[in-house]
Every structure is written in structure tokens, then in C-alpha cells.
């Protein structure tokens, strides 16, 4: 059977009193803050998942990777060689050449390392 309007009206104020108490308000606020933090964490995790493959990784050399076969040679560039004026000029020349080759594709390279990292610029050059 249905409740009379007076009976349903008396149930609602009791429920409102419970939610209006200090602990009820505090609990609701804490839940909203927790949900907002979960949403922001999830959003940040999604951004990191999208951008992580695009970021250049740091070069790490492990001892097992440095073992060479007999009569094999390995040459490694010194990280300070990036400051060499000849190297800087070479990078500028490469950037200018890539930009002139890919002008029709409307691709502009500003930083050689970052722009060539994912291979899309190299694919267009080929």
C-alpha cells in the first residue's frame, strides 16, 4: 500500500537531519575529496602513459653490454662533445636539410634529438 503524504513527509526530515549533522557533512566532504584525488591521479596516470613512449630515454650502459668479441672495437662519444662547435654546426646543417626536404609535408624540425626520437620524421625522409 502507498504511504500517506503525512507519513512520507515525516520520513524525509529524519533523513535530512542525519545528513545535516557535523559528521555527516564531514564524511561527505572527505568522500568528495577522495574521489577528486582519485580522478586527478587517474588523469595524471593517463597523461604519463600517453607521453612516456615519446620521451627520450636516458642512455644507460650495463657492464654485460660492454663485453666485446675478440678483435671487436667499440667507439663511444664523450657527452661533452655536444658542446663542440663543429658538432653544433653539423646539427644546424642537418636541421636545415631536413626542414627543406620535408617542407612539402609541412613538417618542421626544431630539436633534432626530440623530433627524430619516435622515427616519424625519419620515415618521412625515407
The predicted-structure confidence for 44-102, as pLDDT tens digits, reads as follows 887 777 766 665 555 666 666 667 788 888 777 788 888 889 989 999 999 999 999 88
pTM of the model: 0.42
Per-residue pLDDT averaged across 26-47, rounded?
76
Burial bucket for residue 98 (CB in 10 Å: 0-12, 13-18, 19+)? buried
> For residue 18, is pLDDT > 80?
no
- pLDDT confidence of residue 57: 57
Three cell numbers at 34? 577522495
b/e per residue 65-94 (b: at least 16 CB within 10 A):
eeeeeeeeeeeeeeeeeeeeeeeeeeeeee
Length of the chain: 126
- pLDDT confidence of residue 22: 62
- pLDDT confidence of residue 34: 75
Q: What is the rounded distance in angstroms from the CA atom of residue 117 to the CA atom of residue 55? A: 8
> For residue 17, is pLDDT > 60?
no
What is the band of 27 on the pLDDT scale with cuts at 50, 70, 90?
low
Higher pLDDT, 30 or 39: 39
Amino acid at each position: 500500500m502507498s504511504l500517506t503524504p503525512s507519513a512520507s513527509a515525516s520520513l524525509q526530515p529524519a533523513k535530512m537531519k542525519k545528513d545535516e549533522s557535523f559528521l555527516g557533512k564531514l564524511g561527505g566532504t572527505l568522500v568528495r575529496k577522495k574521489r577528486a584525488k582519485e580522478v586527478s591521479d587517474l588523469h595524471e596516470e593517463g597523461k604519463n602513459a600517453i607521453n612516456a613512449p615519446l620521451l627520450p630515454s636516458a642512455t644507460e650502459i650495463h657492464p654485460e653490454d660492454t663485453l666485446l668479441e675478440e678483435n671487436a672495437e667499440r667507439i663511444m662519444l664523450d657527452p661533452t662533445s655536444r658542446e663542440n662547435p663543429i658538432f653544433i654546426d653539423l646539427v644546424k646543417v642537418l636541421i636545415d636539410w631536413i626542414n627543406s626536404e620535408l617542407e612539402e609535408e609541412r613538417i618542421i624540425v626544431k630539436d633534432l634529438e626530440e623530433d627524430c626520437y619516435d622515427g616519424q620524421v625519419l620515415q618521412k625522409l625515407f
